[in-house]
Amino acid sequence: MKHYEYEISQFVDGELSEAEQKEMFLHLSACDECRNTFAEYAMLKEKSEEHCAQKINALKLNGGKKNRSYRGIVYSAAAAAAVLLLIANLSFKPKTIIRTEYKCDTVYVSSVRDTIITRPELKIKQAASVNKKKAPRTQRKKGNLYNLFNMASVKVTDADSLHVSGKLLRQNRSL
Amino acid sequence: MFVKKSVLELFDALSEEVFNYALSILKDYDDAKDAVQEVFIQHMRRENTFRGDSSYKTWLLAITRNYCYRKAANKSKMLKRVGTNPAAAYEMNMEASITLNDALEELTNEEYEIIYLREYAGYSYQEMAEILEISLDNVKIKIFRIRQKLRNYLK
Mean pLDDT within B82-102: 51
Of B33, B120, B151, the CB nearest to A40: B151
Q: How far apart are CA A107 and CA A147, in angstroms?
A: 10
List, for residues B112-137, the tens digit of each pLDDT value: 899 999 988 889 999 999 999 899 99
Q: What residues have CB less than 8 Å from A168, skipping those under 6 apart?
A: A101, A102, A109, A112, A113
Give me the helices (H) in A1-31, please.
5-12, 18-30
Pick from A2-11, A72-81, B71-80, B98-107 the range whose average pLDDT is largest.
Answer: A2-11
Secondary structure of B61-121 as H, E, C letters:
HHHHHHHHHHHHHHHCCCCCCCCCCHHHHHHHHHCCCCCHHHHHHCCCHHHHHHHHHHHHC
A14: left (phi over 0), alpha (psi -120 to 50) or beta: left
Alpha-carbon span B31 to A17, nearest angstrom: 40
Q: In chain A, what residues touch B117 (CB-CB under 8 Å)?
A: none
Q: Residue A157: pLDDT above 70?
A: no
Q: Can you tell me the ipTM of this complex? A: 0.70
CB-CB under 8 Å, B150 with A45: no
Which residue has better confidence, B5 or A23? Answer: A23
Closest to B116 in 3D by CA, of B56, B27, B11 = B27
pLDDT digits (tens, 9 = 90+) for B45-72: 888 888 878 888 888 899 999 898 888 8
Phi/psi for A157 (5° steps) reads -100, 165
Candidate ranges A30-34, A120-124, B103-107; pick with highest mean pLDDT: A30-34
The one-letter amino acid code at B108 reads T
Chain B residues in contact with A56 by the CB 8 A cut-off are 20, 23-24, 120
User: Above pLDDT 70, what percent of chain B?
Assistant: 84
Q: Where are the domains of chain B?
A: 1-90, 93-155
**A63: Cβ contacts below 8 Å, ≥ 6 apart:** B28, B29, B30, B32, B33
| Contact B32/A at CB under 8 A | yes
Q: Which residue of A has its CA nearest to B137?
A: A10
Termini Cα distance of chain A: 123
- Which numeric CATH code is attached to B93-155? 1.10.10.10
If you average pLDDT over every residue of chain A, what do you get? 69
- Class of the CATH domain delimited by B1-90: mainly alpha
* pLDDT bracket for residue B84 (50, 70, 90): very low
B150 and A56 within 8 Å at the Cβ level: the answer is no
Tell whether the model's pLDDT for residue A16 goes beyond 50: yes
Find chain A residues with C-beta within 8 A of B154's C-beta.
40
A33 touches chain B (CB under 8 A): no
Residues from chain A that touch B116, judged by Cβ atoms under 8 A, are 52
Residue of chain A minimizing CA distance to B119: A49
pLDDT reported for residue A109:
47
On whether the CB atoms of residues A155 and A120 are closer than 8 A, the answer is no
Name every residue whose Cβ is closer than 8 Å to that of residue B145 and which is 6 or more positions away in sequence.
Answer: none
Total beta-carbon pairs less than 8 A apart between chain A and chain B = 68
Flag if B30 and A66 touch (Cβ within 8 Å): yes
Rounded distance between C-alpha atoms, residue A17 and residue A37, angstroms? 20
Lowest mean pLDDT among A38-47, A50-59, B41-50, B81-90: B81-90
